[in-house]
Amino acid sequence: MSFKNITRCGNLEFHWGERTYVMGIVNATPDSFSGDGNTDIETAVTQGCRFVEEGADILDIGGESTRPGFTEVSAEEEIQRVVPVIERLAARTKAPLSVDTTKYEVARQALAAGAAIINDQWGLKTESQLAELAAKNNVPIILMSNQRDIGGYDAAVGRDTANYSDVMAEVIASLRQSVKTAQQAGVPKANIILDPGIGFGKTWQQDIEIIRRLRELQVIGLPILVGTSRKSLIKMVLNLPANQRVEGTASTVAVSIANGADIVRVHDVKQMARVCKMTDAIVRGK
C-alpha cells in the first residue's frame, strides 16, 4: 500500500501494507448461502475459537443472511443470535470481534457485549447512525459498496443482476459517499475500511472485473477488505457447490492480495491463511 495508516482495535493494531489480515466468518444464522450457518451458540463459539487457532486475525459474527433473496429478520432476533456468541468469544479469545449487521441497535448491543468493529454491508446507506455509533465508541467501521438498491435479483437463476457502464467507477463513487458520511459523523480516517462488495448488486462477470481492477480502489487511500469466499462467481466459473469452492476461493484471494487487498473475509480459515502467507511472501516480500 502507498499509505502507512495504523488502525487500532482494542489492544491490537493493524499495520496496513505489512501483511494480509484474515477475517473468519462466523454465521449465526440457519440460512447462510455457504452452508456453514447455525443458530447454536456453543457451536458458533467453538468455530470461532478454532478459526483463531487456524490463523484468523478477526472474527466476523453475523446473525442475518445476506445471500441473494435472503429473508430479513428483526433486530430482536438478530441480537439473540449474535450477542451471546460475541459475549462468549470475547471471554475466550483476544482476536477483535466484528459484528456483521446493518442495524443500529444490533451494533450497539454487540459493541456492549465485546465487539470492536462494525461491518456495515450497506455502507451507511440504510443506517447512517452506525457512523455515529462507531465515532462515539472509537471503533473501526467497514463500509461496503452495495448496489442491490439500484441493481436487482433474478429469482429464476438465484443471482444478483445489474447494468453499469463502468462497475468500478460506480463502486468507487459509492464508497466515496460512504466515507464522506462516516467522516461527517466524526469517524477518523484511520478507522475506516472499504469493501467493494463482491456479489452485492453485481453480476459474477462484474465481480471478476472488480477483482481484476481492485487496485483502482486505492485512489481513496484506505485499507481494502475483499470477501469472495465460496461466492457465486466461483460457482459460475467452476460449476461447483459451495462446499467445494476452496480452490476457487484461494485463487480469488491470491489475486485480490496481489491487486491491493489488506483483509480477506473467508470461511475456510486454515487454507486461506496459508494462501495469504504464501501470497504475501511473493507480493509483499514478507
User: Is 265 marked active-site?
Assistant: yes
Would residue 180 show up in a list of annotated catalytic residues for this protein? no
What angle do helix axes 75-92 and 41-54 make, rounded to 10 degrees? 50
List the catalytic residue out of 202, 231, 235, 245: 231
Cβ contact 250:265 at 8 Å: no
Cell of 230: 465460496
Report the amino acid identity of residue 68.
P
Report in angstroms the alpha-carbon separations of 277 from 134, 243, 257, 260: 31, 23, 10, 15
> By the 8 A CB rule, do 45 and 89 touch?
yes
Q: Which residue has the cell 438465484?
A: 158
Q: How far apart, in whole angstroms, are the C-alpha atoms of residue 64 and residue 252?
A: 25
Identify the DSSP state of 101. Answer: -
Could you tell me which residues are beta bridge partners of residue 118? 99, 141
In sequence order, the 6+-apart residues with CB closer than 8 A to the CB of 130 are 102, 104, 107, 118, 120, 124, 141
Contact of 213 with 168, CB cutoff 8 Å: yes
End-to-end CA distance of the chain: 14
What three-state secondary structure class fits 123? coil
Residue closest to 29 by CA, chosen among 69, 66, 68: 66
Q: Which residue in 265, 270, 274, 286 is the catalytic one?
A: 265
Q: Are 179 and 187 in contact (CB under 8 A)?
A: no
Which residues are tagged catalytic? Answer: 231, 265
